Structure 1
Amino acid sequence: MTETKNPPLTPELYAYVLEHNPPLDPVQRELVELTHTRFADAAGLQTAEEQGPLLSFLVRLIGARQIVEVGTFTGYSTLSMARALPADGRIIACDISEEWTAVGRAAWAKAGVADRIDLRIAPALDTLRALPDDEPWIDLSFLDADKENYPLYWEELVRRTRPGGLLVVDNTLFHGAVTDPAATGPAAAIQAFNDLVLADDRVEAVLLTVADGVTLARRVDA
């Protein structure tokens, strides 16, 4: 019998989780709050607060130096990863919005990590397909963009990821709609994507009940 050990995530329990995670630094906190103030209608696109420390942890855990991010929004996830990079590390950040990423640019500069971030404003598939592909080189990628294109982004990222490299994918529970057999639109796209990852023998992957679902996939030796 399938049985969860997850307790209900009440506001009090969520606050407890945040209190026992590494705290956001002042620039991260300001960026989170500014995003919710300036872009209230779109603020749900921002990576969950607890995912910032998680991304930083993963960057340090694998010693990442070369990161690709698909979906930057106002740059909270980008900032969290850049903070964890060594001085010679780089993030290629893909987005299509000058307005949203302008907020991120200001925060990155304020945090002193702008030189680690290569923001590319263009359709992400165009950016990814133009990246070097002669040999795997990506240490870590973070995918949090339009759900219908997840399989296409995945393919471009996986084949460029070095053995032992990590792919982190957000929203893989999609508000719980992944269990709906009649799902359509983005929820159906995530259902298909999760099946694709499960069947992909180039990676070993786990789907975690973090925020709206986070999949961690490790590239295995070719």
Structure 2
Amino acid sequence: MNATTYIKERFAKEDDVLTAVRQGIKDRDMPSISVAPETGNLLSLLVGISGAKTVLEVGALGGYSGICLARALPADGRLVSLELKQEYADFAHENLKQAGYGDVVEYRVGEALDHLAALEQEERRFDFFFIDADKANYANYLEWAIKLANKGAVITADNVLWGGRVHDETNQEESTTYLRAFNDLVAADPRLEAMMVTTGDGLIVARVKDSIS
């Protein structure tokens, strides 16, 4: 038994709700790129520990991560989820309704960068961010997250190990180079306290320092 299997068996067993979401994604021929069960469990834990009431998710897919985020919100909590495709947002919302969180989430469909600018215009602020979308814009999503962050907000981003490709110096695929640059950016940003966790496909966990505006 390897370490990943050991952890999954004890700390990250999927319940029927999440198993159904994963199967539904497969049945609809959607990309099978939901977060790993252990990553979903960690996201729930982080939202709860941070005491977040407002969460912004960039990339909804079928709602797997959305359920994990919503589960840890307090009764008055709110999740805003940005998704490029209407069909994905609709399916994600259907799944959150089935899980009992349909009234907690607000979906905004279209280019995430446009919606992020709109949220700034609306003076919306968030306590927790989860980035899991197109890798080319990870750096842009990070900057927007910092702009939209309440003091002390937590910013997370998935796939930062990219199946081990980011630390393989011979791999120069475009998506790999974007993620490699993103990781370096987070590590060096003076506005953040950050760590990379090897859970799942790698998760960046960063806290926005209280000293920034």
TM > 0.5 fold call = yes
Query: What SS does the aligned partner of 1:218 have?
Result: strand
**Residue 195 of structure 1: aligned partner:** 184
CA-atom RMSD in angstroms: 1.9
Write the distance in 2 (CA, Å) between the matches of 1:102 and 1:39: 15
Write the distance in 1 (CA, Å) between the matches of 2:86 and 2:149: 28
Quick check: 160-169 or 67-76, which moved more? Answer: 160-169
**Residue 58 of structure 1: aligned partner:** 46
2:4 pairs with one of 6, 14, 28 = 14
Which amino acid in the other structure matches residue 212 of structure 1?
D
Query: What SS does the aligned partner of 1:178 have?
Result: coil
Write the distance in 1 (CA, Å) between the matches of 2:9 and 2:95: 23
Identity of aligned residues (%): 36
Runs of at least 5 residues in structure 1 that lack an aligned partner in the other structure: 1-8
TM-score (norm 1): 0.87
2:199 pairs with one of 201, 210, 213 = 210
Count of aligned pairs: 210
TM-score (norm 2): 0.91
Q: Report Cα offsets for 1:35-89 as digits up to 9, x if no partner.
A: 233326x11x211111111111111101111100001111100011111111211
**Residue 157 of structure 1: aligned partner:** 145
2:103 pairs with one of 85, 103, 115 = 115
Query: What SS does the aligned partner of 1:115 have?
Result: coil
Q: Report Cα offsets for 1:171-194 as digits up to 9, x if no partner.
A: 111122212255131100011111
Write the distance in 2 (CA, Å) between the matches of 1:134 and 1:66: 14
Kindly tell me: are residues 219 and 133 of structure 1, through their superposed partners in 2, closer, same or farther at Cα, counting changes over 3 Å? farther
Q: Report Cα offsets for 1:99-135 as digits up to 9, x if no partner.
A: 2232221111111111110011010000111113697
**Residue 144 of structure 1: aligned partner:** 132
Write the distance in 1 (CA, Å) between the matches of 2:29 and 2:89: 12
CA contact (8 A) 2:12 2:37 kept: no
